[in-house]
Amino acid sequence: MGKKLLHIALAVIAAVLPTIPSMAQIPEGYYNSLKGKKGAELKTAVYNVIKNAKVLSYGSGSGHTWWGFWLTDRDERGYFIDRYSAKSEWVKATSQGSVGSGMNIEHSFPKSWWGGASNQAYKDLYNLMPCQSKINSTKSNYPMGTVASGDRGNGWTKVGKGTDNKWYWEPADPWKGDFARGYMYMATTYQNFTWKEGAAALQILQQGTYPTLQEWAYTLFIKWAKADRPDALEIQRNEDVYKIQGNRNPYVDFPNLMEYVWGDSTDIAVNPETTVKSSAYKDGGGTVNPDPTPDPDPTPGPTPDEPTSGVILTADFTKQKGGCTEEITKNETTNSNIWRQSNQYGWYATAHVNGKNYVADATLYLPEIDLTDYQDASLTINQAINYANRKALKYLSVEATVIDSETGEKEVSKLTDLAVPSKDGWTFKDYVLDLSQYCGSKVILAFHYTSDTDTSCYWEIKNLTIEGTKVPTSIDTPTWKTDNHGVIDFSKPYETYTVDGMKTTLNKNKKGIFIIKQGNATRKMVRY
């Protein structure tokens, strides 16, 4: 991209990239070996940094697991932090090294997955949590995933069957990110393990050093980790375990590291010196602090307007087609259309005709949405799904097409946060999908329906709303001179983030507000 002209907003970056909390003390040079690595190579580099831990002996007593829990898992009231149970059920800690009443040491990453050997993984505090014995027994050695039916948990932690009819346990929402980062740690620290054949391990893992986690698993865990970002408690536990074991959980230190290892940035080399740290995430425990080297502004321009939030598009499909168009790739039914609009159900799609399922592939496109001047956006759809046989996400998706304004090239991506009902039925419910990654561009959203002779569900979308926050239009946008006042040199390495701290990239057609980090310089920029 070179030194392509970007315009810089005059606003200071307060509350966007807070400083690292005092509790987070990453040793100088600890992650230096990760620099320049990406994907599989990066995962192995992380493994080499964290693979050796001075673990405590297992059990109770001085220098054992429960002695460690006294330091790592007690709240301000003196109760053991039980991530598997509601706070009202937590147990009082009596003395360091003593077992909590009615509690077990729980292996989040079950020991049976590697055969139960009493090795480092067996004793690793990043994988061990104090847990009430009943829920420990209920969750058994099941892998972590989404419970779709038959929940027999304790009202906090779910234990039941997923859409594949296999058993899983699912943490409560406040702990999903914590456990996701814990699983990422285990899949990296012990990537050299051979997972036991026939065990529940192979529902979620695969043999080998990369990716180790099954695709569905790391996709889900990234989603959970984004929704539940590191907070002060998790950051502090990482620090406390480090003091005991001498190794860290890098997925807590660098919340975006997962993207470089498994996610949307596997083709981008990481730089631990500039990569956003946990305190830069919302609720990351950091303090609000302006840019330590704010840009001098002897003649400030006008104060920018406040960002404005509002509805970008709304459509009631029971009353109108909303300008939607259908594109059919395959249709083996006798009907001319897969997608149809009705006054009762809105837009609906099915390839089930006269009691028989047919192969079909049809996409319903919305009119182009202009998100050029928006810093965040979301899509809310009111939908119902039936006859999906618990496999809705296999056949249904929401997609976005971004067209490069200069080349005309189309870039199609799938929205990964589409949620579907846990049970098939005709009940309509609102679902919210994040569109922020498309801000700064014009985008065409689409509902992609597929079916086969096994499953041909009904997908009904009654209405939708697209909302967003618009970039202020009255920001003074001077051109920066090439001097030493925090100028970003785009010919050298830099990191790009959205305004809420999520890593992103700049491309020719992406416009909006961005946070650019290079070395110790951090600047808020508006690209028109």
376, 493: one domain:
no
Are 432 and 357 within one domain?
yes
CA quadruple 95, 98, 100, 102: dihedral sign:
negative
**pLDDT score of 472:** 57
- 523, containing H or E segment: strand 521-527
Burial class (CB in 10 A: 0-12, 13-18, 19+), 95: exposed
**Domain end: 445, 469, 493, which one?**
469
Summarised one tens digit per residue, pLDDT across range 429-456 is: 988 888 888 887 889 999 999 999 999 9
Listed residue (423, 367, 364, 426) closest to 396, CA to CA: 364
pLDDT digits (tens, 9 = 90+) for 224-259: 998 888 888 999 999 999 999 999 999 999 999 999
Q: Are residues 255 and 384 in the same domain?
A: no
Residue 371 binned pLDDT confidence (cut-offs 50, 70, 90): confident
Q: What are phi and psi of 496, to 5 degrees?
A: -120, 135
Confidence of residue 30 (pLDDT cuts 50, 70, 90): very high
The whole-chain average pLDDT of the chain stands at: 82
Largest CA distance in the chain: 75
316 strand-pairing partners: 463
pLDDT for the residue 155: 93
Residues of the chain above pLDDT 70, percent: 79
How far, in Å, are 80, 250, 343 from residue 229 at the CA level? 22, 14, 42
Retrieve residue 232's tokens. 């002060």
Residues 65 and 10 in one domain: no
Q: Kindly tell me if the per-residue pLDDT of 132 is higher than 60.
A: yes
Question: Does 24 map to a domain?
Answer: no
Boundary residue ending a domain (439, 469, 499): 469
Query: Tens digit of pLDDT for each residue in 63-77?
Result: 999 999 999 999 989
What is the reported pLDDT for 516?
74
On the question of pLDDT at 278 being above 80, the answer is no
Residues 480 and 459 in one domain: no
Report the half-sphere exposure of 139 (CA within 13 A, side-chain side): 28
Token pair for residue 385?
């799904």
Question: How many CB atoms within 10 Å of residue 125?
Answer: 23
Can you list the positions of beta strands (E) in 41-157? 103-107, 128-132
**Inside any domain, residue 225:** yes
Q: Which of 270-279, 475-484, 501-510 has the lowest mean pLDDT?
A: 475-484
- Clarify whether residues 172 and 69 are in a common domain: yes
Confidence bin at 299 (pLDDT 50/70/90): very low
Residue 486 has pLDDT above 60, yes or no: no
Whether residue 211 has a cis bond before it, omega within 30° of 0: yes
pLDDT of residue 260: 92
Asked if residues 462 and 345 have their Cβ atoms less than 8 Å apart, the reply is yes
Q: What is the mean pLDDT of residues 321-332?
A: 93
User: Among 209, 237, 267, where does a domain finish?
Assistant: 267
**What pTM value is reported for the model?**
0.53
- Average pLDDT rounded to a whole number, residues 471-480: 42
Q: Do 9 and 55 fall within a single domain?
A: no
Residue 276's pLDDT is what?
Answer: 75
pLDDT band of residue 473 (cuts 50, 70, 90) is very low
Q: Give dist(CA 291, CA 13) in Å, integer.
A: 6
**Is 477 part of a structural domain of the chain?**
yes
Does a structural domain hold residue 439? yes
288 pLDDT higher than 60: no
Amino acid at 17: L
Would you state the pLDDT for residue 247? 96
- What are the CA-CA distances from residue 442 to residues 84, 377, 404, 473 (Å)? 43, 12, 9, 18
Name the pLDDT band for 194 (thresholds 50, 70, 90). very high
Among 145-154, 206-215, 472-481, the least confident range: 472-481
- Range of 200's domain? 32-267
Of residues 498 and 220, more confidence is placed in 220
Amino acid, res. 430: D
Output the pLDDT for position 281: 44
